[in-house]
Structure 1
């Protein structure tokens, strides 16, 4: 199961996220849930960089683990993309509730 954790500040803005684990929907290379989660998250990370020129405070992208943490100066301008990711993962979790869970901290 993928655990998607979104981190918020005191103003309820998303300041980062972490994706941990594997969906386990199908075997490697055929897992549509893992592919959807990974492609959405990498697209948002790439858009933050290319479109908004946001350089993350922390970024990790390795097997079964994606982490993004933003600097304070970039939080506000990143909200649309981060909320888009949150919404996309929520929709995926509605279709595949046994394969992805979303947590908020």
Structure 2
């Protein structure tokens, strides 16, 4: 990764953050909670993948339609996040593979 890649990545992240700051306050709060959860769960492609920009697109559409954020995602933020990443590889999956076990077969 060269310096230009780093600079371009920072520009993209700043533009992403600016989009979040333009959302209504309740959307911003839920987005921050989603980030906390997703960084703990650890989908591998989270920083570079389409998930976060897609969530912001979804939130922008909801805000433009005048809907509250909980009308869009429901009251369980973690369940919404789990549904978003259900088919994504996580760092836990990588760890299981490094141990030579299939995910979900620990102790068998």
| TM-score between both structures, scaled by the size of structure 2 | 0.30
Q: Which structure's residues are more often helix, by fraction?
A: 2
With structure 1 as the length reference, what TM-score do the two structures score?
A: 0.31
* Greater relative CO (CA pairs within 8 A, separation 6+): 1
More strand by share: 1
